[in-house]
A and B are shown apart, each in its own frame.
Chain A
């Protein structure tokens, strides 16, 4: 099975900061990677699919990049609504989630 590893596990940042989260796959997954945002008590929300495609309705401050085994999610200017936990997910071979990255207020 493909394993997904995110870093960091927790990230402290301020409003307006540029934030980058990394996700690594245990083997190549081409560009079959999605990013989700989850707030406490809520279901995950799709942000990015196919590594860099922005889901409709998602603010353009979110962007994704990478291919093969290394991927990043970038928030260009952190907003108050962005404090949440972010998960990467591979869908190249079945489905696997990373362990999550919590973005908290500095």
Chain B
């Protein structure tokens, strides 16, 4: 059974750096057909994709947030970590991690098939 679980602080202060961890089970972060993305959702608003890491450690970031984000993984620990610097109240949201998968035959495009339950982060002084 594939599961993903997000963890991190519930409350951060403005200007602080947020560090979130996604712990996965049921698949390996070294599987060439899989990757992990982070997505967030402010209260009452739409989903916003943030960052993605592939099995070969290649990374991709949202254009609008690229300067503030860093994604990394520790395959031995089955964990993917997202850091977001200079937090602001507008960054208050539920943060999700999700597994992405691709087909067997090229071209290779990845969609998100299994999501974690999310972790809520509030930015306030």
Do A and B make up one complex? yes
A91 touches B47 (CB 8 A): no
Known: A43-B116, A43-B117, A46-B112. A87 touches B47 (CB 8 A): yes
With most chain B CB atoms within 10 A of its CB, the pick from A36, A92, A98 is A36
Contact partner of B47 (CB less than 8 A), chosen from A32, A44, A94, is: A44
Chain B contact residues, majority secondary structure: strand
Would you give the 0/1 interface string for A68-105, flagging 1 where the beta carbon is closer than 8 Å to chain B?
00000000000000000001010110111111100000
A97 touches B111 (CB 8 A): no
Number of interface residues of B (CB under 8 A): 22
B58 at the interface (CB under 8 A from A): no
Within 8 A of A (CB), among B96-125: 96, 103, 109-118
Residues from chain A with a CB closer than 8 A to the CB of B46 are 87, 97-100
B1 at the interface (CB under 8 A from A): no
Known: A44-B47, A97-B48. A1 touches B63 (CB 8 A): yes
A49 at the interface (CB under 8 A from B): yes
Residues from chain B with a CB closer than 8 A to the CB of A23 are none
Give me the interface of B with A, judged by CB distance under 8 Å.
37, 39, 46-49, 52, 60, 62-63, 96, 103, 109-118
Extra pairs beyond A87-B46, A97-B48, A97-B49 (11, CB < 8 Å): A1-B63, A38-B47, A43-B96, A43-B117, A46-B111, A46-B112, A89-B47, A95-B37, A95-B52, A96-B49, A99-B46
